């Protein structure tokens, strides 16, 4: 079940590499800088609503376990309505705070114009991107992982082709990349909605949607802890990056390389987390305790084996990968010396990735927020105890953050299962 999701996740960093490569072949370096910075900013904005994907997956999985098609249709309809409302809200916030956001980014004057043009185009796709999150949740929640893979790969392929044609062939530069990405996102949503309608089409489809303000409010309250959890997690990574930047260029660059390797591993391990969302949610929907326990063991074992495999693979290949990622020898040497920290971080965080999937399937977002809050507080205490004057101690505090995140989630699991199995 997990392998299509692992491949779908792998498409995300590949998409970023493709966009960077196309921007890197434009006439002036300002286009590359604008695309890299703009993509990071817009991803941060969109993923602040990533709870739509996580929360909706749990709801769909449990409804699928209960085998009630009308309930699934109602969940999708209300989640899509919420996605459109939140997307329009993001557009409104952007236009109200545009100048302040650009000021915070503080780009050079040569980059500012290109960056602003890129962001102004991409922000209009907010409702489309958030609606696509909901569609992905629909397919993942029902275990249709190959469709989710096809959707992700299709969007990425269209994006690469459209960006190349508009940015390079039509010489639209940064604007062409933004328009190409927006076009790919629109195509992806249309395909996803078409597949959903094909699967769920009935004569009573409109009546089964049941779009209600009360249901949307319930979704918001359910997803609020996930939103707060994401903010804390992003905050920890931002603080880690900023503290590393204060230590100098070499340390900051070395940390950046480690985080690239960490995020690549996380994308792979998230495939097992997504599979656990499906199995856990459907087991709860059917009130099938035996299937739930078997899926928990399967998810834990698969995640552990995958983590060991990734660490072994990195042990033999990471130094060479780092050498390929940078031409600066001093940065490569420093990053290679820090690889044991990467292995430790992977070992302590892998369990939390899997447990996140389990808790999403259980529809227990508050437990995820509490765990992240405790881990965030531990991160702050770690900085206070260890200091921030060396990259090694920053990584030690981050390991402590990972340990608390995983242990606190695991400690809450028995109670969460008991509450869900009524």
List pLDDT tens digits, range 254-276.
887 888 788 888 888 988 898 89
Question: In terms of domains, do 144 and 230 share one?
Answer: no
Which of 21-30, 125-134, 200-209 has the highest mean predicted lDDT (pLDDT)?
A: 125-134
Residue 351 lies in a domain: yes
Instruction: Verify that 337 and 398 share a domain, yes or no.
Output: yes
74 φ, ψ to 5°? -65, -40
What is the mean pLDDT of the segment spanning 411-418?
92
Instruction: For residue 167, tell me if it sits in a domain.
Output: yes
Residue 65 lies in a domain: yes
Q: Identify whether 218 is part of a domain.
A: no
Is there a contact between 275 and 8 (Cβ–Cβ < 8 Å)? no
Token readout for 334 is 């420093």
The answer on 143 and 99 residing in a single domain is yes
> How many whole angstroms separate alpha carbon 239 and alpha carbon 395?
12
Cβ of 21: how many Cβ atoms within 10 Å?
13
Reported for 203-212, long-range contacts at CB under 8 A and 24+ positions apart, including other chains, are 204/70, 205/73, 208/69, 208/70, 208/73, 208/74, 209/73, 209/74, 209/77, 209/78, 210/74, 210/77, 210/78, 211/77, 211/78, 211/81, 212/78
**Domain-ending residue, one of 177, 211, 245:** 211
pLDDT over 70 (residue 211): no
What pLDDT is stored for residue 135 in this prediction? 92
**pLDDT of amino acid 299:** 92
Q: Is residue 240 part of a domain?
A: yes
Angle (CA) 226 227 228, round 5°: 90
Q: 305 and 192: one domain?
A: no
Nearest CA to 363 out of 312, 419, 414, 404 is that of 419
CA–CA–CA angle 157, 163, 164 (5° rounding): 95
81 is a domain residue: yes
How many Å apart are CA 142 and CA 52, to the nearest integer? Answer: 16
CB neighbour burial string for 212-247, b if at least 16 within 10 angstroms, e if fewer: eeebbeebeebbebbbbbbebeeebeebbeebbeeb
Is residue 272 domain-shared with residue 341, that is, in the same domain? Answer: yes
Looking at the fold, whether 204 and 239 belong to one and the same domain comes out as no
Do the Cβ atoms of 274 and 145 come closer than 8 Å? Answer: yes
Q: Is the pLDDT of residue 83 over 90?
A: yes
pLDDT at 161: 92
Range of the domain at 177: 1-211
Mean pLDDT of the region 99-116: 75
Does the residue 217 lie in any domain? no
The confidence band for 5, taking pLDDT boundaries of 50, 70 and 90, is: confident
Is the confidence at residue 30, as pLDDT, over 90? no
pLDDT score of 15 more than 80: no
Query: What is the distance between the alpha carbons of residues 92 and 101, in angstroms, rounded to a whole number?
Result: 13
Q: Would you say residue 399 has pLDDT above 90? A: yes
Contact call for residues 380 and 330 (beta carbons, < 8 A): no
- DSSP class per residue in 213-279: HHHHHHHHHHHHHHHHHHHHHHHHHHHHHHHHHHT-HHHHHHHHHHHHHHHHHHHHHHHHHHHHHHH
Q: Which of 181, 211, 241 lies at the terminal end of a domain, its last residue?
A: 211
For the cut 70, the answer to whether the pLDDT of residue 106 exceeds it is: no
Question: How far apart, in whole angstroms, are the C-alpha atoms of residue 382 and residue 378?
Answer: 6
* Judgement on whether residues 145 and 241 belong to the same structural domain of the protein: no
Overall average pLDDT of the 411-415 stretch:
94
Flag whether 119 is in a domain.
Answer: yes
Q: Could you tell me where the DSSP H helices lie in 247-364?
A: 249-286, 289-325, 329-337, 339-362
Let me know whether 282 and 396 are in one domain: yes
Determine which of 256-265, 323-332, 333-342 has the lowest per-residue pLDDT on average. 323-332
Given pLDDT bands bounded at 50, 70 and 90, which one contains residue 133?
Answer: very high
pTM: 0.82
Q: Give me the chain's average pLDDT, please.
A: 86
Q: Which residue has the higher pLDDT, 323 or 85?
A: 85
pLDDT at 201: 65
Stretch 23-48: mean pLDDT:
76
7 and 77 housed in the same domain: yes
Single out the residue in 184, 211, 238 at which a domain terminates. 211
- Banded pLDDT at 206 (limits 50, 70, 90): low
Counted domains in the chain = 2
- If asked whether residues 287 and 422 sit together in one domain, one would say yes
Give Cα 257 distance to the centre of its chain: 19
- If you ran DSSP here, which 8-state letter would residue 165 be given? I
Assess whether pLDDT exceeds 80 at residue 360.
yes
Cβ-based neighbours of 116, under 8 Å, separated by 6 or more: 98, 102
Q: Which residue has the higher pLDDT, 374 or 9?
A: 374
pLDDT of residue 204: 57
**Any idea what the Cα angle at residue 265 is, between residues 261 and 269, rounded to 5°?**
165
Considering the domain architecture, whether residues 195 and 265 belong to the same structural domain is answered as: no
Q: Are residues 34 and 148 in the same domain?
A: yes
């Amino acid at each position: 079940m997990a392998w299509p999701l692992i491949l779908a996740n792998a498409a995300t960093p590949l998409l970023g590499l493709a966009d960077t490569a196309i921007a890197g072949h434009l006439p002036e370096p300002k286009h590359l800088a604008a695309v890299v910075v703009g993509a990071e900013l817009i991803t941060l904005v969109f993923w602040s609503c990533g709870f739509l994907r996580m929360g909706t997956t749990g709801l769909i999985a449990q409804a699928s376990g209960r085998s009630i098609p009308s309930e699934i249709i109602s969940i999708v309809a209300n989640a899509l309505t919420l996605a459109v409302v939140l997307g329009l809200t993001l557009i409104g916030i952007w236009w109200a705070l545009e100048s302040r956001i650009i000021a915070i980014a503080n780009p050079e004057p040569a980059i500012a114009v290109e960056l602003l043009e890129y962001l102004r185009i991409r922000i209009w796709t907010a409702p489309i991107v958030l609606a696509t999150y909901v569609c992905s949740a629909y397919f993942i929640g029902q275990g249709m992982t190959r469709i989710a893979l096809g959707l992700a790969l299709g969007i990425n392929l269209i994006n690469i082709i459209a960006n190349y044609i508009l940015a390079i062939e039509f010489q639209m530069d940064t604007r062409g990349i933004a328009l190409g990405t927006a076009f790919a996102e629109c195509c992806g949503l249309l395909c996803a909605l078409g597949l959903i309608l094909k699967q769920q089409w009935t004569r009573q489809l409109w009546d089964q949607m049941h779009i209600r303000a009360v249901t949307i409010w319930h979704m918001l309250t359910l997803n609020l802890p996930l939103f707060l959890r994401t903010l804390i997690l992003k905050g920890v990574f931002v603080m880690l990056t900023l503290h590393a930047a204060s230590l100098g260029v070499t340390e900051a660059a070395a940390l950046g390389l480690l985080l690239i390797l960490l995020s690549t591993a996380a994308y792979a391990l998230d495939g097992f987390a997504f599979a656990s969302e499906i199995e856990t949610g459907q087991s709860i929907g059917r009130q099938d305790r035996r299937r739930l326990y078997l899926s928990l063991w399967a998810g834990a074992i698969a995640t552990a084996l995958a983590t060991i495999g990734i660490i072994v693979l990195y042990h033999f290949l990471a130094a060479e990968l780092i050498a390929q990622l940078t031409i600066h020898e001093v940065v490569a040497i420093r990053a290679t010396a820090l690889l044991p920290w990467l292995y430790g971080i992977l070992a302590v965080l892998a369990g939390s990735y899997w447990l996140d999937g389990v808790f999403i399937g259980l529809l227990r977002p508050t437990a995820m927020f509490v765990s992240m809050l405790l881990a965030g507080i531990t991160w702050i205490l770690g900085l206070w105890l260890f200091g921030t004057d060396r990259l090694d101690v920053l990584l030690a505090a981050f390991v402590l953050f990972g340990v608390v995140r995983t242990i606190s989630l695991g400690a809450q699991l028995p109670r969460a299962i008991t509450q869900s199995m009524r």
